Amino acid sequence: MAVHYTIAYEDPHVVVRVSGVPDRESVSKMWRDITASCRENGCYTVLGLSATDRSIALEDALDFASIFEEAGVTPDYRIAWVQSNPAAIVMVELISEMTRNRKLAESMVFSDEAEARRWLTGAG
């Protein structure tokens, strides 16, 4: 099984809605699609709204640097990820911390969409 997602430019962000079961292949494709939308819209702020059925596997979370590099994520990106499944948030926080530590992108994890939007616009 894989993640299911939609990507839309909703001024001023690219908004990604995600559900399903994450695996490396589908997550990698999703991030390639996200970066394509960002390039197309000249927008490098991404709001992820995730309600996945389970957490991403640890080995896939640890491989996120490769996933981001393959997708073309750069330090210009500002990513706010809202995870509504409490059981999945730990791995998302690990990915976000690794992303910041490796200076791949500026990222934060949230449980509240309004707070995530404020952070993306610099008001939070």
Q: Rounded to an integer, what distance in angstroms lies between the CA atom of residue 71 and that of residue 17?
A: 18
- In terms of residue numbers, what domain contains 91? 3-120
Which tokens hold the place of 96? 């976000």
- Say which residue the tokens 């706010």 belong to: 80
Q: Residue 43 pLDDT > 90, yes or no?
A: yes
Kindly report the pTM of this predicted structure. 0.92
Question: How many domains, in total, are found in the chain?
Answer: 1
Q: How many CB atoms lie within 10 A of CB 116?
A: 22
pLDDT (tens digit per residue) in 12-26: 999 999 999 898 999
Quickly state the pLDDT bin for 123 (edges 50, 70, 90).
low
CA distances from 49 to 58, 100, 122 (A): 20, 19, 18
Q: What is the CATH number of the domain that holds 46?
A: 3.30.750.24
Q: Specify the pLDDT at position 46.
A: 98
- Residues 48-62 have a mean pLDDT of 88
